[in-house]
Amino acid sequence: MALIENIFSLISMRSFSSLWFWVVVAVYWSAVSRSVLGAPHDMIVRARKGDAQNLEDLHALIDITVRRKLRFTRRAGHWSLAFNAALMTVIVILAVQYGLELAQALLLLFVPMIIVRLLELRLAFRIERTNLRGPALCRALLTHRFWVQAIGVLAIFITSIWGMLFVMSRSVLGS
């Protein structure tokens, strides 16, 4: 029984005041902004500068990722959408109606995550539809990365402000 208590004390449900929550936020946004559709930023930059081998590798990597992503979307996209909608509905109800801290933290983590995934899916459809290649592909990938980073900065700012206000209001009110 002591082992379970130690585990639950380590993984606290108090999200905004937990180091683990902020580690997850930092790791997630770092990983998402590091690569676009599976292509690392440095590969995109080298391909944009004219390195033929990197451009060929970039095309291969993007083609594989786009095909995989769109195949999943076409086969099971409606199921994924239904599951995510149900999950988000539960999280929104628990966060807004019941004011649960964990649900609020998950909401502030998942909403930007969903926006980024939708932008990524939109870019994948655009690459498939227009058959982007060369400098146009590099430009589209770098533009997408810029917007992902902007969403990340805004999400981290909003999450930190909300978390700070939540923790301060709970400590002042004594609950």
Residuewise pLDDT in 10s, the chain (175 residues): 676 666 656 555 567 777 788 888 999 999 998 888 888 998 999 999 887 888 999 999 999 999 999 999 999 989 999 999 999 999 999 999 998 888 999 999 999 999 999 999 999 999 999 998 989 999 999 999 999 999 999 999 999 999 888 888 876 555 5
Helical (H) or strand (E) element with 39 = strand 39-40
pLDDT computed for residue 125 by the predictor: 95
Are 93 and 125 in contact, with CB atoms under 8 Å apart?
Answer: no
Task: Tell me the pTM.
Answer: 0.84
Dist CA 134 CA 52 (whole Å): 10
